[in-house]
Chains A and B, each alone.
Chain A
Amino acid sequence: MSLPVSLGRPASEPRRLPGSGALHRIGRAVRSNRKATVGAVLFVIFFLAALFPGLIAKDSPTEDAYLPKLGLSTAHLLGTTAYGQDMWAQVVWGTRNVMIIAFAVGLGTTAIAVLIGVAAAYLGGAWDGGLNVLTDVLLVIPLFPMLIVITAYLHSGGTLVLIVVITAVSWSYTARQLRAQALTLRSRDFLEAARVRGERKLYIIVVEVIPTMTSLIVASFLTNALYAVLFASSLQFIGLGDPNTVSWGTMLYWAQNNAALQTGQPMWVLAPGVCIAALGAAFALLYYAFDEIGNPALRPVRKIRAPKTRGQA
């Protein structure tokens, strides 16, 4: 049994199933990388809050059942708004809205970007040219003003509108990136081997090319989710979202309307603000960590403390 040079596997080690191997590797990678651990922990907290808000916050977020402008107390962990709503409940229930937007936009933009970017790279020629024009046009237009214009035109929309609009506008960045990576892969021998083997183009794109780009695809999901959180909250803050949705951005909108900071209700602004920052940071940390895991060259170089070599005169 010849031992391959690169791996330290003795001959007798049992073979693991591929699925569990990948998960195991990811788990170990997350634990070993500090950024990944922090990001993952934050993310899990928000994820659970989005799944089970009722377990964490007992009150309804919308019912104005309490005395307004109450401070922090055990009954109201974050106090109440100027309308008598429990803020803790609002923050917790608002997580669901934000997470839905983040995931939907993340998945949507990544899917479109993969399709367009990779297809452009692999099909080349006129297809590449046409798709590039489309991508570039969108790239050039500043994102946020375009978002404002579109949502204003639609007379402010609910969650679905936000998702669709942000997705439609953001895919171009990632499409560019994915196309660039797909282009470098195009000349790789194993793709030429697939072609010579007789595989169809679509098969090559979907089965041979895309799986080798998984790290970039996951990374683009994380970036787009991050930006979705920021954009959606910003749009809601300036009133272009549906103000009746329970979300962090809409909390900020109402807080602004009631001059919360000036009237001594800082928590109304702080609570949603910190949450937006924290969830954004979670995505960002996971993104950096993923980048490092996928690309070992980016890993922090461990300072090796060289033992003082016993100097031989």
Chain B
Amino acid sequence: MTERGPEPSPELLRTDHLTRHFKIGGALSRRTLHAVDDVNFSIGQREIVALAGESGSGKSTIARLLAQIYEPTSGAITYEGKPLSAIRSRRDRLRYSGQVPMVFQDPFASINPVFRVSHGVLRSLKLHRPELTARQREAEAARVFEVVGLDAEMLQRYPYELSGGQRQRVGFAQALVTRPKLILADEPVSMLDVSIRIGLLNLMAKLRDEEGVSILYITHDIASARYVADRLIVMYAGQIAESGPIEEVLANPRHPYTQLLLSAVPDPRAEPSVAAEIDHGEPPRVIDPSPGCRFRWRCPLTIEKCEQVTPVLSQLIADQPLPGHEVACHVAQTGAEVKAFSS
């Protein structure tokens, strides 16, 4: 269940220099909010990639960019070799949204309360698999409910009759029914009770192993990311700070921010220790930023270059090139030992 899936094979989705800005402020003071800046990553088949970061890091914006809710300000998203910008016709859009559906965070707001829970599933079937008859649709809805661990008779219930965990499973069922290749899961367990989360996380692992679906798991909880994901991408202030195979990144975090995050994660089983240097700060809202590392105000290891040049995500040089472990930090890239925050 928590075994790593088979080695990630051909890539399914890739982003190149993905950027999204928002205009804020009134007519007199127009400013630009850099929600996502120059983000490059890829997702392979049959893998769960965790996109972790605090609020304001840009992770939810990335999900919405991939779901085509927002258009990129610049940069490209490529799915199965073809750029998303080429998707224009309704049929193509429908096909993409069937293959890359989204599961939302809030189980109480993501299902229309007026209809039975079968509504969304049946609608998805009608839109994406029009060749099915009504009876086949119902059978498929029942099948998908079983896959996510719900009784088929629950299709007739109304959302208010289901618990939060059950509603999230309905959300996954709605995504599954279109035979997706990649599910965008935007913090699917954050609003659930702790004792219920594991069930959903196990479901996600099952979907990867048995249904062959990749999942982009967006979260702020690194521990849950470790539980299900194969790779980890850590975001800070709209950019990727570090990424790589999850065990590797957690064992050897090279970016000071990753280290800070890991030191702040409470672990009941660990020895109680209150770290001496505790950072008070919170991630910034990036408005009209100047070049340079965005973490520099909180980083104890800054060098001159950090103030002037925005670091680029790249594999570590002086070390053995670790497959896939990349860091966007000048200090780390010089090969020096990075020990900013102890966990």
Contact = CB atoms under 8 A, between A and B. Distances in A.
Interface stretch (B29-37, B94-102, B239-247): B94-102
B105 interface: yes
Contact of A189 (B105, B123, B163): B105
Interface residues of B, number: 33
Nearest to B124: A197
A4 B113 contact: no
A15 B106 CA distance: 27
Contacts, number: 68
A34 to B, nearest CB: 27
B162 interface: yes
A198 B94 CA distance: 6
Given A193-B104, A193-B120, A196-B102, A188 B109 contact: yes
B215 to A, nearest CB: 16
A235 B106 CA distance: 52
B120 A196 contact: no
Interface in B111-126: 111-116, 120, 123-124
A198 B104 contact: no
A181 to B, nearest CB: 14
A208 B69 CA distance: 18
Interface string B286-314: 00000000000000000000000000000
Contacts of B94: 198
Interface string A277-300: 000000000000000000000000
B125 to A, nearest CB: 10
Given A2-B163, A196-B102, A212 B127 contact: no
Given A192-B69, A197-B120, 10 more contacts: A4-B163, A188-B109, A189-B109, A190-B111, A193-B110, A193-B120, A193-B174, A194-B120, A196-B97, A198-B93
15 contacts: A4-B163, A6-B161, A190-B110, A190-B112, A194-B112, A196-B67, A196-B68, A198-B93, A198-B94, A198-B127, A199-B123, A211-B114, A211-B115, A212-B112, A212-B113
Interface of A: 2, 4-7, 9, 15, 18, 188-190, 192-199, 208, 211-212, 214
Interface of B: 67-69, 93-94, 97-98, 101-102, 104-106, 109-116, 120, 123-124, 127-128, 156, 160-163, 166, 171, 174
